[in-house]
Amino acid sequence: MYKTNINLEEMSQKEAIEYLNETVQPETGSIPAYLLGDPTIYDLEHKKVFLKTWIFIGHESEIPNKNDFITRDVAGYSVIISRGADNQIRGLYNMCTHRGMKLCRADAGNKSLFTCPYHGFNFKNNGDCVGVPLQKDIYGDSLDKSQLGLHKIRVESYKGLLFGTWNDEAESLEVFLGDFKWYIDIFAGRAEMEVMGPPQRFVIHSNWKIGADNFVGDSYHTMVTHGSIAKLGMVPSATYSKKGYQIHTTNGHGLNLGTPNPDFAFPEELKEEYKSNLTVEQYEVLSNLKNMIGNIFPNLSFLISHTKIKGQLISNTSMRIWRPISVDKMEVITWFLVEKNAPEDWKRRSRESFILTFSPSGIFEQDDTEVFTDITAAASGTMPLVKQLSFNYTMGLHRKPVTEFVGPGVVYDDKFTEANQRNFYRYWLDLMTK
Amino acid sequence: MTMEKMLATYEFEQWLYREAKLLDDIDFDGWFSLMHPSLKYQMPVRVNKEGIERPDYALDMFAFDDDIELLKIRVDRLKTDYAWAEIPPSRTRRLVNNVRLLDYVPDEKAVVNSYLMIYRSRSTDIHHDLISGERHDEFIFENGEWKLSKRFFIVDQTTINTRNLAIFV
C-alpha cells in the first residue's frame, strides 16, 4: 500500500520520481488523478518533458517570404522564427543578449533587423549582433559583438511542420517522429499545404494532458460529448466515430483513423497531386478517410474532420497545441490548414467548416472545453493524491493488434480502445522518470 | 446632430439593449428573429502587430464567420440535449454603450458602432470571464422592423480569455 500522508512538494525529486513509478501504471490501465492537478508534477514536466522533446512551433507557410518572422512560445520561452535572406529558417530566443529585454512583441511580420527597445542593440534575423548605439564612444574597442549574438534554438521541420527544442542532445526530429511520419505524410504532406490566417488562441482552465489524451485516442467520447452533431445531421450517427483503426507508434504518438468513407473527403481536382506525394498505400488510406484525429507527443494535436454542412460534405484540416500556462490552465492555439492548390470555393467552405466546428466558437470544440475544465477542477489539490484516486484506462486491454494493416505502428481495428492513451502515458512516464 | 439622427440613435440603442436582453435571457429564438436573411456575422482573430500598423485583426481568419444558415445551426444545437458547453447556460450580462450612428437612411439602412462588454459566469465558478470589444453593425429595414444584416465584432484580446465562444457576441 502507498503512504496516505503523501506530499509531493516535500519529496526530493528522486522520491517524487519513485512515487510516479509506483503509481502510474499505463500497462494495466491505471492513471492516477494527481497527474492532472499536482503542481510538483507540473514543474517536473516542464523540465523533463517540455525542455527535452520537440515542441510544435508553426508551419513553414506562415513565413513564406525572405525576412518573414513569427514569434512563438517553446516551453514557456518566446522565440522568433525567422526566414533569413538566405531562405533558411532559424529559431532565436526573443531576448536581447545585453540586458534580457524582449526584442520583438509582434506576432508576425517581415523584418531583417530587430532593435531592442531598451538600449537599442541591433540584431540581424540570423541572430548576429550588428549594432550597438554609441559603441566606439562608450565601449572603445573592447566590445566583441560576435559574442553577443542571439541565443539559438534548434528548429527542424517535417512536411512543413516546424518544431523546436531547447535540448541540444535531442534526437533529430525525423527520428523522434519515427514511424509516425507515415501518417503525418497523409495529414500534412499529402499536397502542398498552407496555413490560412493567424492561429486562434484561447485559454481553458484545464491541465494540458487532458487535451492530448482526448486527441491521441479518445473517439469514445464523441458519441456523448458531441451527440449534438449527430442530432443536427452533420454526421450519420452517434456511433459514427467507432469504425476505423486506432494506431500508435513509439514516443507516445498516436492517432485514430476513421474509415471507410464512401465519399472522397478532399478536393477531387487534387487527386494527381495527392498521388504524387503519397505512396500507393497512403493514397488508399486517404481515399477512404472519413476523419483522422491524433496527437504528436507531447502537445500537438491534429485533425481531419469530414462533416455535412448546408447539405454538402466538406473536410477541414487543423492543428492545435495545448500550451501549458500552469497546472490547471492552458492556452489552445489552433491553426487551419488547407491545400494550396484547392479551388477557392473549396478553401472557403473548408475554412467555414473549421470555424463552425473546431475554432473557439466551434460546436465540437466548445463541448470538449466544458469537460476539460471540470476534470481539471476535480483532479486538483491534495485530496486526489492522498486518497489515491485513479482513472480507468483499461478499454481494449483484452484485444490484440491487427497485422494486415498497410501502415506502420501498433494497429487496432476499431477506434474504441485506450491503447493510445496507455502508450502516451508510458512515454510520458519514461521521460518523467529518466 | 439633427433631431432625426438623435431619435434614430435612441432607436438603435434600444434595439441593442433589447438584443442584449434576449441573449442574456437565453431566448435564442427571439434573438435569431432579429436577423436579416442576408446576415454576415463575423468575429475576426485579433493579432499583435508591430507599432500602430492597422488593421490589427485578420482579414482571413475568424472565430465566427456565419451566414444565416450557420447561425441557425448554432441556435438549433443549443436546443438539443447535448450542447454541454451551455448546460447549464452561462449567466451573461451584455453591457452595450458608446453607441454611434454612422450612417442612416430612414426606413432603409443604418450603420451603427457600439462597444460591448460581456460578463460571463459559469456554473459554480468563482472566477468570471470578461469579453470586450467593438461592434460594427449594419441594419436593413424590412417589414417595418430593423434587422441586423452585418455584425463585425472586434474583440480586445489576441488570446481570448474564456473557455469557448458558446455564447454570442
Domains, chain B? 3-155 (3.10.450.50)
Task: Say if CB A114 and CB A80 are below 8 A apart.
Answer: yes
**Which amino acid is located at A181 in the chain?**
K
Shortest CA distance from B67: residue in chain A: A352
CB contact under 8 Å between B82 and A360, yes or no, is no
Pairwise CB contact (< 8 Å): B80 & A227: yes
A378 shares contact with chain B (CB less than 8 Å): no
Return the pLDDT at A12: 87
Give pLDDT tens digits along chain B (169 positions): 799 999 999 999 999 999 999 999 999 999 999 999 999 999 999 999 988 889 999 999 999 999 999 999 999 988 887 777 788 889 999 999 999 999 999 999 999 999 999 999 988 878 899 999 999 999 999 999 999 999 999 999 999 998 889 899 9
* Residue B73 sits at the chain A interface (C-beta within 8 Å): yes
- Contact list, A107 vs chain B (CB under 8 Å): 47-49, 158
pLDDT, tens digit, 9 for 90 and up, residues A279-322: 999 999 999 999 999 999 999 999 999 999 999 999 999 999 99
Interchain proximity B158–A363, CB inside 8 Å: no
Q: Express each pLDDT in B74-110 by its tens digit.
A: 999 888 877 777 888 899 999 999 999 999 999 999 9
pLDDT tens column, A49-59:
999 999 999 99
Say yes or no for a CB contact (<8 Å) between A231 and B161. Answer: no
Do A228 and B60 count as a contact with CB atoms less than 8 A apart?
no
Q: Which of B2, B76, B72, B77 is nearest to B35 (CA)?
A: B72
Q: In chain A, whose CA is at the least distance from the CA of B160?
A: A202
Please name the residues between 26 and 65 in chain A that touch chain B, using a CB distance below 8 Å: none
Distance CA(A219)–CA(B69), nearest Å, equals 28
Q: Which three cell numbers stand for residue A206?
A: 484545464
Query: In this model, does residue A5 exceed pLDDT 80?
Result: no
What's the CATH number for A55-169? 2.102.10.10
Contact A361 B83 (CB under 8 A): no
Q: Is B91 on the interface with A (CB under 8 A)?
A: no
All CATH 3.90.380.10 domain ranges in chain A, comma separated: 178-432
Half-sphere exposure of B56 (CA within 13 A, CB side): 14
pTM of the entire predicted model: 0.95
Rounded CA separation A328/A384 (Å): 14
**Where in chain A is CATH 2.102.10.10?**
55-169
Q: Which of A294, A302, A317, A307 is nearest to A228 (CA)?
A: A307
- Please state, in angstroms and rounded to a whole number, the distance separating the CA atoms of residues B29 and A326: 39
Kindly indicate the confidence band of residue A91, based on its pLDDT and cuts at 50, 70 and 90.
very high
Residues B39 and B42: their CA atoms lie apart, in Å, by 10
* Angle separating helix axes B68-78 and A344-358, nearest 10 degrees: 20
Residue A225 in contact with partner chain B when CB distance is under 8 A: yes
Tell if the CB–CB gap between B84 and A225 is shorter than 8 Å: yes
How far is Cα A434 from Cα A421, in angstroms, rounded to an integer?
Answer: 20
How many CB atoms neighbour CB A161 within 10 A? 26
Q: How far apart are CA A221 and CA A214, in angstroms?
A: 8
Q: Is B140 helix (H, G, I), strand (E, B) or coil?
A: strand
Q: Are B128 and B119 in contact (CB under 8 A)?
A: yes
CA distance A235 to chain B (A): 14
Asked if the Cβ–Cβ distance from B163 to A361 is below 8 Å, we say no
Do A359 and B158 make contact, defined as CB atoms within 8 angstroms? no
Hey, which residues does A237 pair with through a beta bridge? none
User: In the 8-state DSSP scheme, what is residue A146?
Assistant: G
pLDDT value of residue A364? 84
**B47 at A interface, C-beta within 8 A:** yes
- DSSP single-letter state for residue A319: E
pLDDT tens per residue across span A349-388: 999 999 999 999 998 888 788 899 999 999 999 999 999 9
CA separation for the pair A217, A100 (Å, rounded):
41
ipTM score for this prediction: 0.94
Q: How many CB atoms lie within 10 A of CB B126?
A: 5
The residue ranges of DSSP E strands in A4-94, in sequence order, are 30-32, 55-59, 68-74, 77-83, 89-93
Task: Extract the runs of DSSP E, i.e. beta strands, from A310-434.
Answer: 312-326, 329-339, 390-392, 410-413
Which CATH number fits the domain A178-432, given the four candidates 3.40.50.970, 3.50.50.60, 3.90.380.10, 1.10.3720.10?
Answer: 3.90.380.10
Phi, psi of A143 (to 5 degrees): -90, 120
